[in-house]
A and B are shown apart, each in its own frame.
Chain A
């Protein structure tokens, strides 16, 4: 294999983030008061990489002897991860002071997690997928348990770690079986081998295990048990990251398996599996979310339901489905980042629960935050003209195109159910009088507010002119 300078130029986003990690590490080592610097450094670094990824989006190529691809959808994923991470950096600045985790390592792990996601999204070889996944997961395990004095945070970290390692086993086992069946780890050669001769059943078992492993990471129904506890226990800024760009990264790995199937003889090989997973996630997530009293748990169950909507796109197994998922992921990332950002401002430090009741009368106490949260709730419930609606619209259109009608009907019904619990937050904020006993003091943070407002603008922009981003996603 001959490496040329273009190989390195093409992975410049990865190199930038990698260099960022090393710089951050050095700065953190030699300076005691580096956290403030590191936060802005992370923000600017990820913003730069996000911009650069979009700038070079047309630069489609395969580098390092087919280890990874660049350009196109990969760069869109880079953009989602890095822009999301930049917003997380903004949200974290004041939050980690309140949560008493004001350490430089927080940002180093944040950058490392993003690097892992980027490796995963660009991989065209199962080895790379695995390394990316592990890099991301290890950072998340640690970040979830960052509040070492908080029992919930410890529990979240341990639970996530144990179940996460377990599923990693599934994924590795799946990869081993795929390798055994096809004799290669490169996605392209795996699938070209399959189209050439009859597919051994071993391949299906391997892919099944692989899919199951990633269903854990995207929080789809039967593999969701960690989600509520981890989302609730982890520091809110970390939850914001895990539930948005972490989920996007896991989906990018699932797309890796699905994209080569599109246009092959049997694109719908895994459609029954994805359909069942999707239906179960949507219904379970929506119904259980109805009963939640804690806002973070509510958002956790809503995250399960949203994983279900995105799986509709995978079940459709066509191009519309693929671009629908990418759009949905971007939309979901920004709306959930915004929602969690607001939650992080409102929740107290220590053990105060983020109950929905404590949002009573928020519209009087802080009309701006209430208005923004209402916006995010509307877009999460999928009302036009916000981004969430177009996401759902895309996956529904994909599934009708594929002739998979009933899953679209089920999705529509479940989104009507889910509107109820999103609206309940608005009801509490706007229609209930403020409770005097409510001791929540809203944190004043200009940086967090900036992050939330950026998310809101993106959500509205993607809703009003979805074309601008879809066009981008679709131009490959």
Chain B
């Protein structure tokens, strides 16, 4: 724990950038862009420092003492006497092995999306201000350890995304933006209710011995903190923990997006401008899975154990259904959107395994999917900028006059398929290894494995249609990548290779925390308390 407010700076650096952008006159377009780039760049540097100072042996998860870079200040505190008891909402940030990879991912993807936003033309000032606000929302969501704070960041994220799709999007932007908004809001009201329920059921004891309700996530993970009669308390024989689990799960699953809540994703991706697609696929989808692991798994372990089969089932459906849908697409972006649905299925499957290998694979898959899919969307953006079409059948033979571009595309596609040596392979095999170990979901795992074949099918078919074969005459004078596009694609490609060869870079970072998480979710005994009551 250091006195330097690392995480606050990490979270609010973009807000500082936003304020500067807002103050700049709107004609100074390049100055606005440079400000954004500097803010996100500094964020990457800070994230790097955080990584360097990160202690690999501290687990976090449920123990406030082993969280790192913790900042905890009372935010809304008042003692209202007889009326409300004591309300206490903390500004509580911290990082552990679960959130650290996500923080790195967020910083990186934001930086790359900022570069990718360079060719935004319409109301530049508004765009970058919202972009930076979105960045803060995402970062805060991963770092918050107070449920209330988490919820506020979660919703803050929603607004800029809505406008970024709705104003700078494609032809059906209105529909896509509102669909995205309503789906997410629908999920978040469930999260809100569960949050209030937990708040009323959990007590924390201050140094002076006074007890009060708390939003502290870590307190919610310990059965001994629950009140006797709270509606989500295991001590209460009529508790609603099962329903609360479902509500919270649905709230997060919409963001993943899990079948059958996935329909907003293809629309949002197709209409969003390239950098926003990159952020959406790279970071936002991870929030759903992160939420389930951080909240559902740790706060409701006993129900998680009951429902792993269902989680695995939905994972399987996501994998297979997403792959089949991807195969049927004629739009390049929609194809990648559905491949995202399929790939997030692996995350769900890995999560369902409830063991170190599977969960580690799931978190790694989150990181890898973030980088690989971001790369895929950037690649689509590159050709879309030049040709203004995304129809898969409009292309053909691009390898002939865009050799470098095709090279990057091949890396990304093969990583997505899961070719050994590239990052996707490691995480997918971890997921399958972990899931296969578990007797109850073995059948589902075997069926899911077909997803790899299907994935290879649609990916290779797409490559053939777009890059191989005879060059379409329309595109003979296309130019290869320029410097800006190199700066976006090279770092991602390096990461894809690096994590393919040395996955331990990431695995070591999260290893201790994953072990502790598995411990929390499989050992924490909410049940015996309940049965002891009956």
Chain A residues near B (Cβ < 8 Å): 319-320, 323, 378, 381, 383-385, 389, 393, 396-397, 400-401, 403, 405, 408-409, 412-413, 415-416, 419-420, 423-424, 426-427, 430-432, 465-467, 470-471, 474-475
Which of B83, B163, B193, B199 is close to A323, meaning CB atoms less than 8 Å apart?
B83
- A397 x B199 contact (CB < 8 A): yes
How long is the Cα–Cα vector from A266 to B204 in the complex, in angstroms? 30
Q: Which 10 A-B pairs have the closest CB atoms?
A: A412-B189, A474-B80, A416-B186, A319-B83, A467-B76, A474-B83, A384-B152, A471-B78, A384-B155, A431-B166
A413 x B189 contact (CB < 8 A): yes
A474, B159: Cα distance in complex, Å:
31
Could you give, for residues 243-278 of chain B, a 1 whenever the CB lies within 8 Å of some chain A CB and a 0 otherwise?
Answer: 000000000000000000000000000000000000
Q: List 22 A-B contacts (CB under 8 A).
A: A320-B84, A378-B159, A383-B159, A383-B185, A385-B152, A393-B196, A396-B193, A396-B196, A400-B200, A413-B189, A415-B189, A419-B181, A420-B182, A423-B178, A427-B177, A430-B167, A431-B166, A431-B174, A431-B177, A466-B76, A470-B80, A474-B83
How far apart sit A475 and B79, CA to CA, in the bound complex (Å)? 9
Give chain A nearest CB distance to B307 CB in angstroms. Answer: 20
A contact face: mostly helix, strand, loop, or mixed: helix
Specify which chain A residues have a CB less than 8 angstroms from the CB of B196 in the assembled complex.
393, 396-397, 400, 408
Query: Quick check: is B197 within 8 A (CB to CB) of the other chain?
Result: yes
Report whether A393 and B192 are in contact in the complex, using a CB–CB cutoff of 8 Å: yes
Mark out the residues of chain B between 68 and 108 whose CB falls within 8 Å of any chain A CB in the assembled complex: 76-78, 80-84, 87
Alpha-carbon distance between A409 and B193 when the two chains are bound, in angstroms:
7
**Would you call A384 and B84 a contact (CB within 8 A)?**
no
In the assembled complex, the CB of A345 is this many whole angstroms from the nearest CB of chain B, namely 22
A427 touches B174 (CB 8 A): yes
Considering the chains assembled together, what is the distance between the CA atoms of A339 and B185 in angstroms? 22
Q: Which residues of A contact B76 (CB under 8 A)?
A: 465-467
- 20 A-B pairs besides A323-B83, A408-B196, A420-B178 with CB distance below 8 A are A319-B83, A320-B83, A384-B151, A396-B192, A397-B196, A400-B196, A401-B200, A403-B231, A405-B197, A412-B193, A413-B186, A419-B181, A419-B182, A419-B185, A423-B162, A427-B178, A467-B76, A470-B78, A470-B80, A470-B87
**Chain B residues near A (Cβ < 8 Å):** 76-78, 80-84, 87, 151-152, 155-156, 158-159, 162-163, 166-167, 173-174, 177-178, 181-182, 185-186, 189-190, 192-193, 196-197, 199-200, 231, 240
Assess A400 versus B84: contact at CB under 8 Å? Given A412-B189, A416-B185, A420-B182: no
Most chain B CB neighbours (cut-off 10 Å) among A378, A412, A466: A412
Interface of B is mostly: helix
CB distance from B192 to the nearest CB of A (A): 6
**Do residues B78 and A431 form an inter-chain contact, with CB atoms below 8 A?**
no
For B84, give its contact among A378, A416, A474 (CB under 8 Å): A474
Inter-chain CA distance A427–B182, complex, in Å, is 13
Closest to B187 in A: A416
Q: Which chain B positions have C-beta within 8 A of A471? A: 78, 80
Given contacts A427-B178, A467-B76, contact A319 B189 (CB under 8 A): no
B139 to chain A, nearest CB (A): 16
Q: Please tell me if the beta carbons of B80 and A416 are within 8 angstroms of each other in the complex.
A: no
User: Which of chain A's residues have a CB closer than 8 A to the CB of B84?
Assistant: 319-320, 323, 474
User: Chain B: which residue is nearest A401 at the CB level?
Assistant: B200
> Which residues of chain B have C-beta atoms less than 8 A from A420's C-beta?
178, 182
Residue of B nearest to A371 (CB): B126
Least CB distance from A47 to B in Å reads 27
Chain B residue, CB-CB nearest to A367:
B126
* Cα–Cα, bound, A257→B152 (Å): 35
With the chains together, A396 CA to B231 CA distance in Å? Answer: 14
Q: Which chain A residues border B190 with CB–CB below 8 Å?
A: 412
**Inside 8 A of B81's CB, which chain A residues have their CB?**
474-475
Cβ of B199 and Cβ of A430 under 8 Å apart? no
* Distance of A475 Cα from B84 Cα, bound (Å): 10
Q: Which residues of B contact A319 (CB under 8 A)?
A: 82-84
Please indicate the chain B residues that have their CB under 8 angstroms from the CB of A470 in the complex. 78, 80, 87
Q: Which residues of B contact A419 (CB under 8 A)?
A: 181-182, 185
User: In the complex, A419 Cα to B76 Cα: how many Å?
Assistant: 26
> Which A residues touch B87, using CB under 8 A?
467, 470
CA distance A419 to B188 in the complex (A): 12
In the complex formed, the residue of B with least CB distance to A381 is: B185
For residue A323, which residue of chain B has the nearest CB? B83
Q: How far is the CA of A476 from the CA of B76 in the complex (A)?
A: 19
| Chain B, residue nearest A474 (CB) | B80
Instruction: Give the residues in chain A near B152, CB-CB below 8 Å.
Output: 384-385
**Which residues of chain B are within 8 angstroms of A400 by Cβ–Cβ distance?**
193, 196-197, 200, 231
> Cβ of B155: which chain A residues have Cβ within 8 Å of it?
383-385, 389
Question: Roughly how many angstroms separate A408 CA and B190 CA in the complex, as a whole number?
Answer: 10
Known A-B contacts A400-B193, A416-B185; the reply to A405 vs B200 at CB < 8 A is no
Cα A401 to Cα B158 with chains together (Å): 29
Expressed in whole angstroms, the minimum distance between the Cβ of B226 and any Cβ of chain A is 15
Q: How far is A427 from B181 in the complex, measured between Cα atoms in Å?
A: 12
How far is it, in angstroms, between the C-alpha of A319 and the C-alpha of B83 when the chains are bound? 6
CB distance from A311 to the nearest CB of B (A): 18
CA distance A385 to B192 in the complex (A): 13
Q: When the two chains form their complex, are residues A431 and B192 in contact, meaning their CB atoms are under 8 A apart?
A: no
**Chain B residue with the shortest CB-CB distance to A396:** B196
Chain B: minimal CB distance from A379 (Å): 11
Check if A412 sits within 8 Å of B192, measured CB to CB: yes
Selected contact of B173 from candidates A323, A385, A424, A431, CB within 8 Å: A431
Q: In the docked arrangement, what's the CA distance between A397 and B87, Å?
A: 12
**In whole angstroms, how far apart are the Cα atoms of A396 and B162 in the complex?**
26
- How far does the alpha carbon of A432 sit from the alpha carbon of B173 in the complex, in Å? 10
Q: Which residue of A lies closest to B191 (CB)?
A: A412
Q: Which residues of A contact B192 (CB under 8 A)?
A: 393, 396, 412
Max count, chain B CB within 10 A of own CB: residue among A378, A381, A427, A475 = A427
